[in-house]
Amino acid sequence: MSNPAPVAVALDAPDLETAARWAALVTPHVSTVKIGLELYLRYGPDVVASIRGASGVRIFLDLKLHDIPATVGAAARTVARLRPDLLTVHASGGADALRAAAEGAPGTRIAAVTLLTSLNEEQLGRIGMTGSVQDTVLRLSALAVEAGAHGIVCSPREVSAVRAEVGPGIMLITPGVRPAGSAAYDQARVATPEEAIKAGADLLVIGRPITSAPDPGAAAATIAASLRRLTPARK
């Protein structure tokens, strides 16, 4: 079978049974599944083992930790025993918090969230952050990498610029990915999977276009096939 596509399916399900079913349907086709804050808070740490099951699929624990460094470090140590492949921390929490997360979970890749993909330039100004979206993302990306983050979460619109800023060794993770014809929902800065990969993304976060489909497995397989056709171009 072909290698799974570089996609993290967001399991934003109403219950654990649905999330586990989605995971089972998509794992033959994608490398990663993402467990977000709602599912984690509803079912607790056991949700990770339930979703991982026997498949060994990579777990992206998207908790977006944002607190003082001591608290972020302690939280990272707590979840490290769950062996997630990826754990998100807000870059705006500062370098010390990012460093504390990396030290607290040495076996997990820390992915720094730059700006949520629901934010546009007008909203950025309203919360008091000056400069353009791209300037802010680049500034936070540089800070995160210097603090020891292994990955950067940014929208597909900023991937190319972030890659130029941080170099080739950092994983770039892009939410806000929507296949052509899909609704944007609450995302403000979006692109298609093919556009995101061509721009330099390493892992695409895709939720409702897969999980809301009549057959999530088939939807994942279709996206995986479209990305596989791009592979020769990236080598």
The token pair at 217 is: 């497995």
Q: For strand 86-90 and strand 58-65, is the pairing parallel, antiparallel, or unpaired? A: parallel
- Catalytic residue at 64? yes
Which residues, in sequence order, are CB contacts of 186 under 8 Å at separation 6+? 118
What local confidence, expressed as pLDDT, does residue 233 receive?
46
Burial of 232 (0-12, 13-18, 19+ CB in 10 A): exposed
Q: Could you give the CA distance from residue 39 to residue 46 in angstroms, rounded to a whole number?
A: 11
Q: Could you give the CA distance from residue 155 to residue 196 in angstroms, rounded to a whole number?
A: 9
What local confidence, expressed as pLDDT, does residue 234 receive?
46
34, 64, 198, 235: which is the annotated catalytic residue? 64
Q: Show pLDDT as tens, one digit a residue, over the chain (235 residues).
A: 468 999 999 999 989 999 999 999 999 999 999 999 999 999 999 999 999 987 889 999 999 999 999 999 999 999 999 999 999 999 999 999 999 999 999 999 999 999 887 778 888 888 888 788 899 999 999 999 999 999 999 988 899 999 999 999 999 999 888 776 555 445 445 578 888 898 899 999 999 999 999 999 999 999 999 898 876 444 4
Say if CB 95 and CB 143 are below 8 A apart.
Answer: yes
Over the chain, what HEC string results?
Answer: CCCCEEEEEECCCCCHHHHHHHHHHHCCCEEEEEEEHHHHHHHCCHHHHHHHCCCCCEEEEEEEECCCHHHHHHHHHHHHCCCCCEEEEEHHHCHHHHHHHHHHCCCCEEEEECCCCCCCHHHHHHCCCCCCHHHHHHHHHHHHHHCCCCEEECCHHHHHHHHHHHCCCCEEEECCECCCCCCCCCCCCCECHHHHHHHCCCEEEECHHHHCCCCHHHHHHHHHHHHHCCHHHHC
Q: How many CA atoms lie within 13 A of 12 on its CB side?
A: 12
The token pair at 97 is: 């918090």
Which residues, in sequence order, are CB contacts of 235 under 8 Å at separation 6+? none
Q: Could you give the CA distance from residue 202 to residue 196 in angstroms, rounded to a whole number?
A: 9
- Residue 104: how many other CB atoms lie within 10 Å: 22
Say if CB 150 and CB 111 are below 8 A apart.
Answer: yes
Say if CB 191 and CB 199 are below 8 A apart.
Answer: yes
